[in-house]
Amino acid sequence: MRVFECKLTYSLVSLGEEIRLDRPEKVADYLRSAFDDNPMQEAFYCVYLDRKNHPLGRHLITLGTVDSTLVSCREVFRGAIVAGCSALVVAHNLCAAAHRLCYVTSRAMWSACGPFTRGSLCA
Q: List phi, psi (to 5°) of 114.
A: 95, 175
44 phi/psi in degrees, rounded to 5: -125, 115
Nearest Cα to Cα of residue 19 among 92, 89, 110, 119: 89
CA distance 17 to 15: 7
Q: Give, for all 123 residues of the chain, the pLDDT tens digit.
A: 898 887 777 777 666 667 898 888 888 888 888 888 777 788 889 999 999 999 888 889 988 877 778 888 888 888 888 888 999 998 888 754 444 444 444 444 444 444 433 333 333
> Phi and psi dihedrals of 63, rounded to 5?
-115, 115
